[in-house]
A and B are shown apart, each in its own frame.
Chain A
Amino acid sequence: MEDRRIILETENLIRQYRQYDLVVTAVNRATFHVYEGEFVAIIGPSGSGKSTLLHLCAGLDRPNSGTIKIRGNDITKMSPDELGEFRGKYIGMIFQNHNLIPQFTALENILLPTLMCNKPEYSYEQNLRKLITALDIADRLHHLPSELSGGQQQRVAIARALINLPLIVFADEPTGNLDRKNADEVLHLLLETKELLGQTLIIVTHDMSIARKADRVMRMDNGFLAPWRITAED
């Protein structure tokens, strides 16, 4: 694995929040790297800062200090507009609670990133076909999110994250709101599409069964990030 290219690289990443007079350090000097095509799971207790770290790496939040490089591009130095464009082109984000826009149909939600990046139809048509087939949502495309089940909503959210063929997909507890059966299905789909499209996948999860399938696991504890080896006790 060492001969592969590094796709994500962070160095001394710090993110602090001010809560009245207290300063909370959600991410404390996090330094790590992820290789191209790798599947990395970040585990840790609630409030340990793993979602914050994911948001920072996905360019959804700004660190107080430190660098985040994706394919050598330091996203912390980018202007809001440059970062927006970068996110649209190279980053896919899946949230725990789907975050679909209620007034748009499933198809419109999926195609939202193509609209934000001004992509013409021919450029995404092929990928759209792959995704709807792989995620088995062809029948539900013209339905509003409120007419879909939780599992279906999460599939739509996955399709939305993947429609622009991102380099890295970040998933924040993607199965957190789903039952076991649906959770397994969604994970299976994520891994299948990862293989299909050759992407890098970084997942934040509490679910050890997901973490076990990862190439590499890291644990976040009280803002500190460290490599972790899953044992039978976990």
Chain B
Amino acid sequence: MGKDRATTPEKGIDASFYRVNPRNEWGRGLFRRSARNSVKTVFFNFTEYLSFFVALFIIQSLFWILCFTTHTNLENDRKAIASLYDADIIIDGIDAAERLAIENALYINSNLGESNFDEYSFLPPDEYNEFFRLKVTLKDKTTTEDFLEYYIDSTGVGRENVTYSTTPLYTYRQDYLRPVIKWAILVGVLLAVLSVVLLMTLYNIRTNHFKFLYGIYMTCGAGFKKLFSTAKWEMMVISMTTALASLGASWLITTLIYAKVGRTVYISGWIVLAVTALNFITVYFAVYTPMKQLSLKTPISLIMAQDNSNLVTSPRRSFKIFNKTFPYHYELYGIWRFRRYFAATLVTAIIFTILFICGVYIGEMNKTAVMTDEPEADIIIYPDDDESDIVDQMEEVSEWIEEVPGVSHTIWKNSVPASKIVSHILMKRRNLAGGAKYVLESDNLEGYPVATNYLEYRALDRHYIDTICSLYEVEGDPYAILEDSSKIIISDSIYNQKRFEFSPGNKIYAAQLLYKKERLEKVYFSELEILRDQLFFYGFDYIEYEVAAVIHGGETGGRFIVGMNYDEYVRFTGLSDLGSTISVYLDADVTSGETDDIIDKIKLTLNDYFSFDYNIDRSYATLYSELMLQRRSYTTILIFSVLLLLLSPVVWFFSQILFFQKRRKEMNLLRMFGAAEKQIERLHTFAGLVISALAMVVTVILSYIASFIVFKLMSEWLPSLGFAGGVSYSFFVSTAALLVSLAVSAICGFLSSYIPYRAGRGRRRDGDLGIMSGLGEL
């Protein structure tokens, strides 16, 4: 159809085109025209787009900071580990003949170019080691198993003749990156989703207030694609404007975060790529839905909807305001009239204050996780057969190890979960303190109706009790259990939460299996499920124990502790074969660089004073704890939270200023009908106060709901996906964060309603906007 139009004969054409486009400034390509249009739209209406500038600046800053901190953490960790360890595997216990065989194989493969290692070196025997040690740096993607198979198994040395351990360098290269990047991706996705929601909301507010523009675009032939492209271009122009500023600000913030630990902030090409990609994806998705919704409307409805604020109040409600006070009742009706708008603004703005509260909560959770104490190494002892009393022997070994400078304490842990030996304990109802989800009702023993198997029986010697007393708050006389087998020590927490209320002198009954009415062959998913069936199908004998001492808090896991002396432990549990692993904890001021020396000194002590064989299993807890502290996660999370909080005023002011701008005509009509300036001011003040009060109520309600969701997320949902675990968190709402959020919601709610009035009054005083010009505006 268009072709025959183009052939229309020319009549009376004036060749004045040079006057139209003298410098070809309109541009030839659609690309330039689109870009130019977007630049003009954005900068011509700069104040309307200001909130997008602020929002995109904050969003980009969050992306930059996330990438900077992730990259810096990885680089810092790598450098710290590489400065301490120069090999992936250390193989110990190699004698001269074995060394010859292994070295031969290493040499041949190395020369053939088929080696799966980069470097190797043999360390000669020294004062700590009587055998040769082999240090190997593996090639990428080579596992310990590959190396051992090639050079230990196939050379005939055999793994049973040597001991081997991997260093943190190996862990870093093999599977250290994955969890860090997994977290970064998770946080990145969450941030991107949040940013999309924020920008989408802002864009929805914008399209709602500027329907006219889009109506004209559609009249001129724009469909969804063109509207989407227009919106995308606008956001791109803003993104590009804020990119450098956000990069600079984020760099500064990240540098300040790491300044305290003297770490450098690293930047790399992938960070720029990742932030650019995240920015584009966010912008793409953020404008898609508003534009899709807009494109489904008819152009005329958008053009006509431009001016829908000239009704003083809706016709249905207007009759009700007679005989009511002005401006209070009037504005209450006004708020009701725009209830959908107010609800949307309240929820959107408050979401960001709630995110701040959640951020502070997550920061506190992170602190708890970092502070969990871990042993630096486990020493597995193979006692001599002629030694009769293992308890004395282990106590002696522990005491000797604790003599080594830098060792804080040791724990010889002999414990067994109650469910493993088909046992549980009965207690009185008053012994419960928030531990209801860990117990069942039982009528097996009168007066003791509460049964639980979330416990482990633990054997304690004098040394272990000394350690417990030095580390935790202990109530009562814990040493009494050493003399009296009917007494026990009990802890009151599961994970790091107090769940029970015991005091010295309390009685509990521990169950010993007597008979089974039926054999249970089900698959159980929790300890309580097991206990429920055991109470029903099994018969028990109950042994009375008196609580001699209570450990408050203390070393806790998923079970609380019932501690007894070794004789009673062996008698009650029926486990005669006691374990022989001693966990070594180091002093808090020991640095990762000193740990190898301390472990060597422990070896020397064991070699000098004992004749048994042993093996040391390193966990490198000191190093990992140091690295965790250097990550500055708490500070980073707090900064993230504050940046998210800053988005709340953006939504408040953007939304409310546009809203009251649209109501300017209404206000001018009221003035024309005789409303005094004071009344108009009171109307705005009243609107601000009502919105402010509503905002505070919504903040309190949402903060509790959101904190509970975070609590469930961190303690149940994320662990089930393999993201976190091992630490239990309590549910609380940070009072300080809640107060800050309430202040932000209240102040922003009020000011965003009042400031548009003050600004308008200033303009009117200057004679810029009189009543009539205000009326003619819309």
Contacts and interface: CB of A to CB of B under 8 A. Distances in A.
A85 interface: yes
A77 to B, nearest CB: 15
B12 interface: yes
Interface in B197-213: 212-213
B299 interface: yes
B301 A101 contact: no
A141 B8 contact: no
Contact of B1 (A90, A117, A198): A90
Contacts of B12: 130, 133-134, 196
A167 interface: yes
B298 A130 contact: no
Interface string B1-21: 110011010111111110111
A129 B219 contact: no
Contact of B224 (A20, A81, A95, A126): A81
Given A99-B212, A134-B12, A165 B5 contact: yes
Nearest to B218: A84
Interface in B1-55: 1-2, 5-6, 8, 10-17, 19-21, 26, 28-30, 33-34, 37, 40-41, 44-45
A88 B217 CA distance: 9
B221 interface: yes
A183 interface: no
Interface of A: 20, 55, 60-62, 71, 80-85, 87-90, 93, 95, 99, 101-104, 107-108, 111-113, 115-118, 120-121, 123, 125-126, 128-130, 132-134, 138-139, 141, 160, 164-165, 167, 196-198
Contacts of A101: 213, 216
Contacts of B296: 80
A104 B212 contact: no
B1 A71 contact: yes
Contact of B5 (A80, A102, A103, A167): A167
A88 B222 contact: yes
Interface string B205-248: 00000001100111111111110000000000000000000000
B300 interface: yes
Nearest to A102: B44
23 contacts: A61-B299, A62-B298, A81-B223, A84-B222, A84-B226, A85-B221, A88-B221, A89-B1, A99-B219, A99-B303, A103-B45, A113-B220, A120-B28, A128-B20, A130-B10, A130-B12, A130-B13, A132-B16, A165-B5, A165-B6, A167-B1, A196-B12, A197-B5
Contacts of B303: 60, 95, 99
Nearest to B20: A141
Contact of B17 (A89, A113, A129, A198): A129
Contacts of A20: 315-316
Contacts of A134: 12
A62 B222 CA distance: 16
A138 B18 CA distance: 10
A130 B6 CA distance: 13
A82 B33 CA distance: 23
A93 B298 contact: no
A170 B212 CA distance: 19
Nearest to B34: A115
B295 interface: yes
A79 to B, nearest CB: 9
B316 A129 contact: no
A160 B220 contact: yes
Given A101-B213, A167-B1, A167-B5, A108 B20 contact: no
B40 A60 contact: no
Contacts of A116: 217, 220-222, 226
A20 B1 CA distance: 43
Nearest to A113: B220
Nearest to B296: A80
Contacts of A55: 298, 300
A103 B220 contact: no
Contacts of A132: 14, 16, 20
A196 B30 contact: no
Interface class of chain B by DSSP: helix
Nearest to A87: B221
A27 B19 CA distance: 46
Contact of B33 (A85, A113, A115, A141): A115
A165 B226 CA distance: 20
A125 to B, nearest CB: 7
Nearest to B33: A115
A120 B27 CA distance: 10
A129 B216 contact: no
A203 B222 CA distance: 23
A138 B221 CA distance: 25
Contact of B20 (A95, A120, A129): A129
Contact of A133 (B8, B16, B226): B16
Contacts of A197: 5, 8
Contacts of B213: 101
B26 A129 contact: no
A102 B212 CA distance: 11
A167 B11 CA distance: 18
Given A62-B298, A128-B20, A197-B5, A108 B226 contact: no
Contacts of B299: 60-61, 87
Contacts of A89: 1-2, 221
Nearest to B294: A80
Interface string B429-473: 000000000000000000000000000000000000000000000
Interface in B290-347: 295-296, 298-301, 303, 315-316
A196 B11 contact: yes
A128 B17 contact: yes
Given A101-B213, A132-B16, A87 B218 contact: yes
Given A99-B303, A126-B10, A112 B20 contact: no
A81 B228 CA distance: 12
B8 A198 contact: yes
A143 to B, nearest CB: 13
B19 A138 contact: yes
A118 B298 contact: no
6 tightest A-B contacts by CB? A88-B221, A84-B223, A103-B44, A81-B223, A133-B14, A60-B300
A98 to B, nearest CB: 10
Contacts of B225: 81
A85 B45 contact: no
- Kindly name the residue among B5, B26, B33, B34 whose own CB sees the greatest number of chain A CB atoms within 10 A: B5
A176 to B, nearest CB: 15
A227 B337 CA distance: 43
A193 B192 CA distance: 52
A73 B661 CA distance: 42
A118 B226 CA distance: 9
Given A113-B220, A139-B19, A196-B12, 8 more contacts: A81-B223, A82-B223, A99-B216, A115-B34, A116-B217, A125-B17, A126-B13, A132-B16
A108 B28 CA distance: 13
A128 B213 CA distance: 23
B221 A113 contact: yes
A84 B15 CA distance: 33
Contacts of A133: 12-14, 16
B13 A129 contact: yes
B295 A80 contact: yes
A60 B219 contact: yes
Contact of A103 (B14, B41, B218, B222): B41
A160 B219 CA distance: 11
Interface string B134-153: 00000000000000000000
Interface string B381-398: 000000000000000000
A61 B218 CA distance: 11
B440 to A, nearest CB: 61
